[in-house]
Structure 1
Amino acid sequence: MRILTVGAGAIGGYFGGRLAEKGEDVTFLVREKRKQQLEQEGLMAKSIHGDIKIAEPKTIKAGEQADDFDVILLSTKAYHLQGAIEDIRTYVSEETLIVPLLNGIAHMDVLIAAFGEEKVLGGLCFIETTLDENGKVIQTSPIHDFVFGERSGEKTERILRLQKAFFGTKANFRLSDHIEQEMWHKYLFISTLSGVTSLFRSPIGPIREEEFGLAAVKEVLKEASAIMRSIGAPLADGIEEAQVKKLNEIGYEMKSSLQRDMEKQQPTEADHFFGYLLDQAKTQGLETPVLAAIYANLKVFEKNSL
C-alpha cells in the first residue's frame, strides 16, 4: 500500500519509520526545513525497541505532485489540523483511507466534514516520544501502540487489507473491533494525565505520591467521565477505577505531550482537550471545577509565554 504520513515528527516519524523499516511504501509530507534535514541526515529514531535509520526516506512538500495514496496517517497537533487538511486534499482519492492519531475526539467531526464519513477511520496511539534538537525521534516507553479500526467495528475488506500492510512491523499495530470506545477511553486517560501533569508541572510519579495529588487525579477522572457519559460516549463500566490503576502503574517519570509542549514554550491543545469538555459540561449543566482550573492554567500559560 502507498502510505502518506503527515509529518515526520515524534509520532509520524516513529510509526512511519517502523513501516518504512519493514519495507512498506511510506512517504512523509513535511515542511521545507524538515525535508532538508531528512535528506541530509535520514530519518533516525532512538528507541528502547531498537533504533531506526532510514537513509533516504521518501518526502514531499504540500502541493508537490504525487500519485494518490491508499492511506494517510494523520498525527498532527490539533491546532495544526486545518492546515493539515488543506495540505492533504490533493492526495486524497475515492479509495483513500484517513487514520487520525490525534488525542481527543473533536477532530473527528472536522475530518468527516472535510472528507466524508467513509474515508475517516478511527485511530489512536499510546507512546512516549519526542524530537530532540537535531530532529532525531526519541522513543522511551515500553508501550508503542498504534490502534485502528472501522468506526462501525466491522471487519471490512479494506480494514483487513490495511491490517495486512501493518502486520510484522516492529511496533504494536492493532486492529480494534471497538475503536470508538477505545478513542473515548484514551481521551479520558490523556485528559487526566495531561491535566494533572500540566497543572503540577511534574511527571505523574510525584503527583500520585501526594495525598491531594492523587485526589486531584481521581477528581479529574470523575469530572471528565461524567461529562462524557452525559453526552452518550461509550465508556465501559468501571473505566474510572481501571484508569486510576493504570495511572498508578505507569512510569514514575511519565510526562504528557501537552506538558512537554509547555516545557518547550510551544502552543498547547488546551481547547481541543479541555475547552471541548467544558463546553459540553456547560451544555449539560455540570459543575467541573478542577477541569476549569486546568483549562485556566493552560490559557494563562499561553497568554504569558507565547
Structure 2
Amino acid sequence: MKILVVGAGAVGGYFGGRLLEKGEDVTFLVREKRKKQLEETGLRIQSVHGDVHLTPKLIVSGEKPQTYDVILVSTKAYHLQAVIKDIRPYVEKETMILPLLNGISHLDQLIDEFGEGPVLGGLCFVESTLDENGTVIQTSPIHNLVFGERTGKNTERIQQLCQSFSMTKANFIYSEEILKEMWQKYLFISSLSGATTLMRAPIGPIRATKSGFAVLAGIVTEVVAIMEKMGAPIDQKQIPSQLAKIKEMGYEMKSSMQRDMQKGLQTEADHFFLYLLKQAQAENIKTPILEIVYANLKVYEKAVLGIES
C-alpha cells in the first residue's frame, strides 16, 4: 500500500517511521521548514524499542497530486482545517483516511469534507516528543496505534491495511469497536490533561495529594456525565476503573497537553474541553471543574501566545 503520513512530528514521525523502517511505501506531507530539516538530518527516532535513522520521501502542500491508499493524519486538532485543504488533492474514491487525533469532533469535520466512506476510526497511545534537533524521542513501553472501520465491519480494505501494518516495531492493532475505544481514550486523556495542565504537575503528585485527587475525580465525574448524555458508550460505572487506570500510571507521567504548555505551544483546549462544555450547556449539566480547566488553558494561551478566546 502507498501510505501518506501528514506530519512528521512526535506521532506521525514515530509511527510513519516504523512503517518506513519495515519497508512500506511511506511518504510524509510536511511544512517547508520540517522538509528542509529532514533533508539535512534524515528522520531520526530514539526509542526504548530501538533507534533508527531513515531517509524519508517528502512532499509539501501543493505538490503534484499522487494516489495514496491510506492517509494518516497525525497533526494537532487546531491544524485540522489546514490539513483538510492540504490532503484534498490526494483523496480519491478508494482512499482511506485514518485520523490519530485525540477527541471525537474531528470525525465530523472529516466526514463533512470527504463523506462517510473514506474516514476510518483511529487513535494511538505513545509518549513521544520532538527534541530541539527534530529527533523523535519515544520513551514509554506502550506504542500502540489502534484502527478500524467506524461501522465495526471487517472489510476487505481493513484486511489489506492490517497486512501493511503487520510486523512493524510498533503495535498496530485492529479493533472492531474503534468508536468505543476512541470514546474511552477521550475520557482518559481529557481527565489526565485537565488535571496536569491545571496543576502544572505530573500525575503522581496530583493523585498523591488528597485535594489533588479529589479534583481529578471531579474531572472524571463531570466528563462521564457529559459523555453519557451524548449517547457515548460511557457510563457512571466506569468512573472507578478510570481512576484505577490513572493510579497505575508512572509517577512522572505528563499529558501531551501539559508538555505543549511547557514548550510555550498552543493547546487543544477547544477540541478537548470547549466541545464538552458546549454539550454540557446544551444538556444543562453543571461542570464547575471543567470550566476552570478550560479557563486556565485559555488564560495561558492569551498570556503566552496572544491567542484571543
TM-score range, shorter chain: over 0.9
Match status 1:226 vs 2:225: yes
Structure-1 separation of matches of 2:260 and 2:126: 15
Residue aligning to 1:18 = 18
1:10 partner SS = coil
The one-letter code sitting in structure 2 at the alignment partner of 1:129 is S
Structure-2 separation of matches of 1:74 and 1:80: 10
CA-CA distance at 1:235 after TM superposition: 2.0
The one-letter code sitting in structure 1 at the alignment partner of 2:16 is G
The one-letter code sitting in structure 2 at the alignment partner of 1:52 is V
- Structure 1 moving runs of 4+ over 6 Å: none
1:238 partner SS = helix
Residue aligning to 1:4 = 4
CA-CA distance at 1:67 after TM superposition: 2.0
Residue aligning to 2:122 = 123
For 1:243-299, what per-residue CA distance to the aligned partner results, in whole angstroms no more than 9, with x for missing partners? Answer: 111111111111111111111111111110000000000000000111011001001
**TM-score, scaled to structure 2:** 0.97
Task: Tell me if structure 1 keeps the 8 A contact 2:122–2:148.
Answer: yes
Residue aligning to 2:302 = 303
Structure-2 separation of matches of 1:59 and 1:18: 16
Match status 1:48 vs 2:59: no
Alignment of 1:194-209 (within 5 A): 194-209=193-208
Residue aligning to 2:159 = 160
**What RMSD, in angstroms, separates the aligned Cα atoms of the two structures?**
0.9
Residue aligning to 1:180 = 179
What stretches of structure 2 of length at least 5 have no aligned partner?
Answer: none
Residue aligning to 2:85 = 86
1:117 partner SS = coil
The one-letter code sitting in structure 1 at the alignment partner of 2:27 is T
CA-CA distance at 1:239 after TM superposition: 2.4
Residue aligning to 1:216 = 215
**Percent of residue pairs bearing the same amino acid type:** 62
Alignment of 1:100-115 (within 5 A): 100-115=99-114
Residue aligning to 1:27 = 27
Structure-2 separation of matches of 1:211 and 1:130: 31
What stretches of structure 1 of length at least 5 have no aligned partner?
Answer: none
Structure-2 separation of matches of 1:199 and 1:22: 40
